[in-house]
Amino acid sequence: MLTKEEAQALVIARLKSRGGSRELSIAEWGGSKRAFGWVFEASVTGDFAASSAPAIPRWLLVNKVSHQVVASSVDYGVEEFVRRYEKLLAQNQTRSQQWCGTPKPPFPWSLWRKPTVAERAKEGGFYEIGGKENES
């Protein structure tokens, strides 16, 4: 499990691997402590703010168990961003507990299947910020 200091270092490293040599600062969101980890607000400081490098997301979540750094392409308010992530996390945990459940339904019922957690995350604009070794 990550500590808060390790999470901050992870966010900086992941953002720098995406955005080059810009000056970055992060601050922990002042909301209540979350079970999954931490929420950080990122910003570009100095003259590098007008750089042509890719934009960085404003809000970032760090999952202390999985070491994921998650952002969203949709500009949510921080409370909505956290709420949506927690909902996806709860759905993922529920589905993982039912991995050995009943077999797939027959053909006509499979046409009305529910979207997977990954599909819902993608629809909500969520994506993981990986290091250079994870990018293709």
- For residue 62, is pLDDT > 80? yes
Q: Is 46 contained in some domain?
A: yes
The residue among 86, 80, 70, 78 whose CA lies nearest residue 122 is 70
Whether 104 maps to a domain, the answer reads no
> Which residues neighbour 88 within 8 Å (Cβ) at sequence distance 6 or greater?
117, 120, 121, 124, 126
Which structural domain, as residue segments, surrounds residue 76? 4-97+109-134
**What pLDDT shows up at residue 136?**
37
Reported confidence tier of residue 73, pLDDT bands at 50, 70, 90: very high
pLDDT reading at 135 higher than 50: no
Residue 127 in domain? yes
Whether 103 is covered by a domain: the verdict is no
Kindly report the pTM of this predicted structure: 0.76
Q: What would the mean pLDDT of 81-102 be, rounded to a whole number?
A: 81
Q: How many structural domains is the chain composed of? A: 1
Residue 5 has pLDDT above 60, yes or no: yes
- Of residues 113 and 135, more confidence is placed in 113
For position 134, what pLDDT does the model report? Answer: 44
